[in-house]
Structure 1
Amino acid sequence: MRILSWNCRGAGRAPTVRALKALVHRERPDIIFIFESKAKSPRVEKIKEWLKFRRCFCVNAENKSGSLALYRAKGVSLEVIFDNKNIIACLVYIDPPTDVWLLLLVYGPPKVGHREAFWDLVTNITESFSGPWMLLGDCNSYSPSSDKFGGSSRGDYSSKPFRNFLSNAAAIELGFHGPQYTWVGRRSGGVHARIRLDQGCCNQEWQEMFPNAGIKHLVAPTSDHKPILLDPHFENNNINKPFRFEAMWARDPECEDVVDQAWRKEFFGSHGFNLMKKNIPQRLFAE
């Protein structure tokens, strides 16, 4: 089940609709999530007909801003269980029908003051669901410093609620293929900042269900955000997956031996050099 997510920055313009149709034709997604479309239900329904999708769900724009729209193709079985101006939460039913996972499609609040409450809400939703879950969309935040280039350091603090969510939920960030940054902010005189705002993460159960899942960063000329495509059966071996310590590793029976082997190694040099060299290699966990 391939899912396309795009902050399209207005679906009322013909170029945006053409770009969306081209993406659908090329990538063949089963679910489409667009946001900041600034459109209301009639326009969202019309786009559904142009895309030849079977169903759509819309959270209407407020004062000509915002708006979330979810489209699904024939054969996709899902149920929306919660929505507001920043999130659509739905249950996705797979074969057999008793198997279900939670999909969270998000548009993180642009205003810094609203982010803590939003990520607290996302935490509550994931904690209330005992099965696999996946989160996808524009988080309007970033996790490691490598996900940002240029601009001020103010965004480091404003992304703290998102980082807290990732930590508290033991979320696993999916890797990606393509350009690193999904958003480019510009000011007069040139580029201001590049950030990977659009991304996906999941819990351990979802990753076990789709161990080959990955994300592609795509290109669309009509928005300052790149569309992203979640493919549960991603086949590219060059996927960029940043190293993260996963809480589940500590529960592995071999974890203590791996740590012990790394710590017993001897190196010549300063204390700092020794500590760096004894850093547990990622490959030991991956084997």
Structure 2
Amino acid sequence: MNIIVWNCRGVLKPNFQSHVRELVRNHNPGIMVVMETRIGGGRAKEITDRLPFDSAIHMETIGFSGGIWLLWNSDSVEVVQLTSTKQEIHVEVKVLPTNLSWIFSAVYASSRCVERQILWENLSKVAELHNLPWVIAGEFSELLADEDKFGGRPVSLARSLLFKECLDKCNMVDMGFNGPKYAWTNKREKRIMARLDGVQRVKASDPSASLVSLENQLIKELDVVLEQEKDLWALKSRIN
């Protein structure tokens, strides 16, 4: 069974619904999770009613960010909602027509450290309440090591240890990935990273002081952009 987990960064984009249909047509998911929907309530139901799924669970946004939808078709899977918060949805899944049951948790962690700590505690409690196979997927807003990010401030060792402690309590194993290592960026970041990549390629074959200087300048500029984006979403998450 295929599962799609997509951080769409807003479901009101003009091509959102057509993109969902394309993903479903190409991958035939049993479950689809849409994160950072940025809307909730009746408007959320209006949109999911137009998507190629007959069942849905909606979680409200966190200020102007967040929001999780878990979508499925009842003729292929049975889904029972166990518990949920604004940062997580926990369900028991049975794949039809088999009797195979397992736990699935969709996570969209807050950008605020205090709220993420509540999420880690919730996940640890869920781990104590079942002995079924368990998959957790989504956006954790936390890293385990510096090599998991590019630019910006160093990874906080204290926060990483709290995250790792949670994963250990849940007996989680990283399943790995295919595709780009850095899965999130914005348009300004893309332009800077494209220039940085070009400079580094040229410098590898024909190094010069001017290229080293330009490389350092671009790295500093990228750090600033990453910090601005992080501060912006932290601010939005506090506004309600």
TM-score (norm 2): 0.71
Distance 2:59 2:49 in 1: 18
> What code does the residue aligned with 2:38 have?
K
What is the aligned partner in structure 1 of residue 179 from structure 2?
178
Distance 1:166 1:124 in 2: 12
1:160-171 equivalences in 2 (<5 Å)? 160-171=161-172
Distance 2:19 2:159 in 1: 31
Distance 1:182 1:104 in 2: 20
Q: CA 1:155–1:181 in 2, change beyond 3 Å: closer, same or farther?
A: farther
Query: Does the alignment pair 1:190 with 2:216?
Result: no
Q: Percent identity?
A: 25
Judge conservation of contact 1:115–1:161 (CA < 8 Å) in 2: no
Q: CA 1:185–1:162 in 2, change beyond 3 Å: closer, same or farther?
A: farther
Judge conservation of contact 1:147–1:181 (CA < 8 Å) in 2: yes
What is the aligned partner in structure 2 of residue 92 from structure 1?
93
Distance 1:98 1:18 in 2: 33
Structure 1 ranges of 4+ moved more than 6 A: 186-189
What is the aligned partner in structure 1 of residue 128 from structure 2?
127
Judge conservation of contact 1:24–1:51 (CA < 8 Å) in 2: no
Moved more, 113-122 or 179-188: 179-188
Distance 1:185 1:142 in 2: 19
**1:103-143 residue CA offsets vs partner (Å, 9 max, x unmatched):** 11101121122222211110110121112111011111122
What is the aligned partner in structure 1 of residue 9 from structure 2?
9
- Which of the pair is proportionally richer in helix? 2
Distance 1:140 1:63 in 2: 16
Judge conservation of contact 2:59–2:69 (CA < 8 Å) in 1: yes
Distance 1:54 1:110 in 2: 31
TM-score (norm 1): 0.60
Judge conservation of contact 1:33–1:105 (CA < 8 Å) in 2: yes
Aligned residue pairs, count: 195
Coordinate RMSD, CA, aligned: 2.7
Distance 2:2 2:98 in 1: 19
1:161 is displaced (CA, Å) by 2.1
Distance 1:156 1:186 in 2: 29
1:58 is displaced (CA, Å) by 0.8
1:185 is displaced (CA, Å) by 5.7
